[in-house]
Amino acid sequence: MIPTIPVLVTMPFGDYLLDDLRAVSPRLEIRQQAVTHDREDISLLLQGDEEIIYCMTPPRDLARAPKLKWAQLHSAGVDHLRGHPIWDTEIVVTTASGIHAVPIGEFTFAMLLALARKIPKMVRLQERQEWLRNRWEVLSGLELRGKTIGIVGYGSIGREIGRIAKYGFHMRVVAMRRTMQTPRRHYSEPGVGDPEGRIPERWFAPEEITEMARQCDVLALAAPATAETRNLIGETQLRAMKPHALLINIARGELVDDRALALALKEGWIAGAGMDAFAIEPLPRGHPFWHLDNVIVSPHVAGATGKYNDRAAALFAENLRRQLTGLPLLNVVPHDLQY
């Protein structure tokens, strides 16, 4: 008799998604116990026989999971696992990288178009029922066609931003990557992104970020939060940008020096910013970003659409097939890099 493989799912997948996972193989014994908060410790949910866990955060008490071989995360980033004991084990960690490319790629351009065409200012005028006499001057916008967009972090999300920019808006695309080595084996949806990395007209290294910022009309941040990317965009880079330039951060708040950005927006070093991630979340009351009329504050929801769980379950199903057939898993996080 072929032994079954106990799998615990702690995220709120619907019955139809659980059925899809069970259909991968009769060997999978899938049990769901959804958490009420996606960052809570799931240690007490364990029965001790789990070999695979689907979760946002793996159990902190790994002694309760003596048979655990692999944890599939519900998120693309792993910065919330800093200091987690799982990095000191041989348990494989995989992420949901790749499922966010479409929703966050589209969200990036929603923010970008809103800022470029002064939509937030129009909404404020609408709230006041005010029709400006000098509206042509005050609401004159920025056309994206032919402009240069710099993408910091050319992973799955960055590549979809690049595809939309080039083929949707005929923009010139440049990009920054930490290394030009062959990327890891990542999940991607057919027809999404730039798998071969052919779209960028120029590549920049991290130490060239200031020169990259100087050349761009739009700077889109899609890099992971690491020690190297902390405050990657600070006063030097913001002062180097063009006065009409726009900054979009759909990655992590730690990439940007908040104080420098608030000053840049207030004094007009750049024209505007769209922020979906912040160093401190929720964004504290009284933070300058709440009061500036050239910044869009989004509460870390760029990936939030009705298809998130469908995409997440499809990725998990593919990795389950790979696990059962001996193929390499997608989106494996090296324990030494932790991103």
| Catalytically annotated residues | 252, 281, 300
CA 67 – CA 210 distance, rounded (Å)? 48
Report phi then psi at 317, rounded to 5.
-60, -40
**Amino acid found at 176:** M
CA 74 – CA 72 distance, rounded (Å)? 7
Cβ count within 10 A of residue 194: 22
Both structure tokens of 299: 């509460």
CA 188 – CA 100 distance, rounded (Å)? 10
Q: What is the DSSP letter of 243?
A: T
CA 101 – CA 151 distance, rounded (Å)? 14
CA 260 – CA 52 distance, rounded (Å)? 44
| H helix and E strand count, the chain | 9, 12
Report phi then psi at 151, rounded to 5.
-110, 115
Please tell me whether residue 73 adopts helix, strand or coil conformation: strand
Q: Is the peptide bond before 195 cis (omega within 30 degrees of 0)?
A: no
Q: What is the DSSP letter of 147?
A: -
Comparing CA positions, the residue from 75, 331, 339 lying closest to residue 229 is: 339
